Amino acid sequence: MQADRLTVFPAFHKVTEGVVLVVGDGAETAAKVRLLSETTARIRVVAPAPEADLAVLLGADQIEHRARGFDAADLEGAVLAFAASGDAACDRAVVAAARASRVPVNAVDQPDLCDFFTPALVNRAPVAVAITSTGAGPVLAQKIRARIEAMLPLRLGALAALAESFRPAAERVLPKGQVRRRFWAEFFDGIVSEATLAGRADEARRFASKLLNQPDSEPEGFVWLVGAGPGAADLLTLRAQRILGEADVIVHDALVPDAVIAMGRRDARRIPVGKRKGAHSASHAEIEAVLVREAKAGRRVVRLKGGDPLVFGRAGEEIAALREAGVPFAIIPGVTSALAAAAEAAIPLTLRGTASALVLAIGHDSGGATPPDWAESARSGATLAIYMGRSVAGDVAARLLEAGLSRATPVAVVENASLPAQRLLAGTLAELPRLAERDDLTGPTLIFVGDAVAAAGLAGAEPLSAPSVLAA
């Protein structure tokens, strides 16, 4: 037998309105019943003494329970059978009776007695993906299933169902060949797909109708405002990864790491737009113009921002520009840097009896001044997470002291949250102004202020004071 050839042929059994027999009382029977419950099959369970997990399932309308031992008559009308009793003699009797009745049978954990193998299933009905190791490594099949489960959008089945509803019209209206292929390519890759996967069913149907009635029109562009998270590539959301893999153009900030940008298609055009403090390579008006221009040209555009687009990411201005230009868009949230930094330092942002509110604040406004409005919130016990506050740390401290906070209020600073170069510093509000003196801190920083910070894991943190100040 050649090692690179399968010993099985993958196929899907039709079970609609058919009976699937499962024999057994325990956990394996319960597992099979749960799997079969994802189909339209009628499930017949032969279990004289069902264990607790199985007993909970037996009340479903889809399930017929026969509370006795197995009998060959239980195979009447069956299209598939499972022997899951765990008793060798009983399982062999089920297998023998099933084969005599020409019903394909599976004996759990007994590959030699199986006519078919139960796959690890990814269900996106009517789409399904089944993985098998042909009994050699069930755990491996489950690991592969988990990978595929993460890759496939939950609403993929809705997209398939929408396509099925449009298929008769497409075959009637569109000529075979390139025109019809182009329609389906745009259907599954363009704004019809995006609207469906985002749960906007009515909008998706309108887009699909327009595409069907105007098959020769240029593809309609789309813009996604995507949060890249704090930097670590594995903190990117699954939806963000999928969209990056579909984009024609990626417009990215300077703070987005190369590893995240590399998740895009190899042939996608990358457009860097800077946005580092004090070194902006493009004005925001220019960035908005790029997004509109690329989308109007029929391209799928990802605007990739560090953190979350809606948290100090100026997404509001880009949304307004896209709306004014009539460009469809969607927002994909990211892990905002404050949450990532707090997680890395084990800072409880809210804490029973200590902090019942969290304020996300910016250290300076567009003119460089420190906004005073958030300082009052700290007096009520809120935890402050301050973005872009390192260079104005003295002004931040002054505002908070003016608002009535104690000089001993705990402070933590996280630089390069989630990245290998991450650093954690800790001290008090009285020491916070010294942060601006630290010329060894060059990465993005988050400042946390509040009594809840004292409950953080700060034992190994560096002092806030610069080394030169301590030496003096």
Residues known to be catalytic: 253, 275
Nearest to 159 by CA among 183, 110, 126, 116: 126
Separation of alpha carbons 308 and 196, rounded Å = 23
For residue 171, what are its two tokens? 């075959």
Alpha-carbon span 199 to 201, nearest angstrom: 6
Contacts 24+ apart (CB under 8 A), 177-183: 179/215, 179/216, 182/215, 183/211, 183/212, 183/215
Task: Please give the helix or strand (H or E) that residue 21 lies within, else none.
Answer: strand 19-23
* Nearby residues of 387 by Cβ (< 8 Å), 6 or more positions away: 311, 312, 337, 338, 360, 361, 362, 363, 446
Tell me how far apart the alpha carbons of residues 48 and 168 are, in angstroms, rounded to a whole number. Answer: 49
**Which amino acid does the sequence have at 425?**
L
Residue in the block written with tokens 């925001």: 284
Q: Give residue for tokens 């230009």.
A: 325
User: Cβ–Cβ contacts within 10 Å for residue 181, how many?
Assistant: 11
Q: Give CA separation, 394 vs 143, 391, 427, in Å.
A: 51, 8, 14
Q: Hey, is 22 helix, strand or coil?
A: strand
Reading the block at residue 458, the tokens are 């700060």
